């Protein structure tokens, strides 16, 4: 069990670490636009998944999947949500707004909990309510201070929370590889349309900026699929509370890179907003740790 925990923790750190380094990857894809990046990410993921399935001779799940209409619809909606998330994230980094993307992923756990209450009718513990209240206060402050809604952060936090909610409602009928394959396949036609439009409009860059630029596009499937599969493997080996705490690695790295490497300037109001969000996340983390420690005692007493 200890070995499994160490392996799972390493896999989770690797997954969230790769996601944290994404600003560097997307910034390196400039001058490509967000639509071109999104289209190549989707098609690259499809190609990678199909190659892996061909090597494993793993096709028996396809027919049962297509026979379940509810599952197909759920996977399609999930794919649209994650595509929206990918598109906005790429656009944010390429527009020099990686810090707002980081804010979105800091807010994501709070939005996820809020959806659990509103949609799944889940009950919250007092500290979770406090974290939600502090997070809401941060949102109000950021809106008032900036005079507008931080749209990128709001879309990223909401789209990823909805993606997780849909995956939870659909269930665990598909493995991580099968789910990723199905999701990327159902939106592949959209990716083809997008890339065709980019090419026709003269905005394609993949073949016009040297072999390194083309190579970065070539590995887009690996960059997309690898952290998702690492995360899935980690989720089977470590506790949910551990994953919940490790997930803050991603936006922390993104924020550090935005300020130190990408040269983004954050006004004082944005730092204050980040600070309020971090207070909410500290409260949420304390709740997760306390709950995880109390659960074994309750089980043992029972």
Question: Domain total for the chain?
Answer: 1
Residue in the structure block whose two tokens are 């061909």: 54
* Cβ atoms within 10 Å of 3's Cβ, excluding its own: 8
List pLDDT tens digits, range 27-60: 999 899 999 999 999 999 999 999 999 999 999 9
Predicted TM-score (pTM) of this structure: 0.84
Distance of alpha carbon 289 from alpha carbon 294, whole angstroms: 9
Report the candidate in 199, 257, 227 with the shortest Cα–Cα distance to residue 40. Answer: 199
| Pair of tokens at residue 68 | 């379940």
Q: How far lies 291's CA from each of 7, 125, 126, 241, 287, in Å?
A: 23, 9, 11, 9, 6
Q: Which residues of the chain have a pLDDT value below 50? A: none
Q: How many CA atoms lie within 13 A of 173 on its CB side?
A: 19
Q: How open is the CA angle 59-16-284, to the nearest 5 degrees? A: 115
Its domain, for residue 239, covers 2-301
Res 240: pLDDT: 61
* Cβ atoms within 10 Å of 240's Cβ, excluding its own: 11
Report the candidate in 106, 110, 111 with the shortest Cα–Cα distance to residue 284. Answer: 110
Res 181: pLDDT: 92
| Pair of tokens at residue 283 | 């409260």
């Amino acid at each position: 069990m200890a070995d499994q925990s160490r392996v799972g923790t390493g896999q989770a750190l690797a997954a969230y670490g790769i996601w944290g380094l994404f600003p560097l990857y997307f910034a390196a894809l400039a001058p490509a636009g967000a639509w071109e990046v999104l289209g190549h990410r989707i098609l690259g993921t499809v190609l990678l998944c199909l190659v892996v399935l061909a090597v494993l001779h793993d096709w028996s799940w396809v027919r049962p999947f297509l026979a379940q209409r509810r599952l197909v619809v759920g996977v399609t909606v999930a794919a649209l949500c994650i595509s929206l998330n990918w598109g906005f994230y790429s656009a944010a980094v390429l527009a020099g707004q990686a810090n707002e993307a980081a804010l979105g992923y800091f807010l994501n756990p709070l939005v996820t909990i809020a959806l659990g209450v509103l949609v799944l009718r889940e009950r919250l513990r007092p500290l979770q309510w406090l974290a939600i209240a502090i997070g809401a206060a941060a949102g109000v402050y950021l809106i008032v201070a900036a005079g507008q809604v931080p749209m990128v952060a709001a879309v990223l936090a909401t789209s990823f929370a909805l993606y997780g909610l849909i995956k939870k409602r659909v269930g665990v009928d598909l493995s991580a590889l099968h789910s990723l394959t199905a999701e990327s396949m159902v939106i592949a036609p959209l990716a083809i349309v997008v890339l065709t439009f980019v090419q026709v409009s003269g905005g394609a860059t993949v073949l016009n900026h040297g072999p390194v630029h083309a190579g970065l596009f070539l590995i887009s499937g690996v960059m997309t699929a690898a952290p998702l599969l690492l995360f899935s493997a980690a989720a089977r080996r470590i506790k949910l509370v551990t994953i919940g705490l490790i997930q803050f690695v991603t936006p922390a790295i993104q924020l550090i890179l935005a300020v130190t490497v990408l040269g983004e300037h954050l006004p004082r109001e944005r730092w204050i907003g980040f600070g309020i969000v971090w207070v909410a996340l500290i409260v949420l983390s304390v709740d997760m740790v306390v709950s995880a420690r109390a659960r074994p005692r309750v089980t043992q007493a029972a």
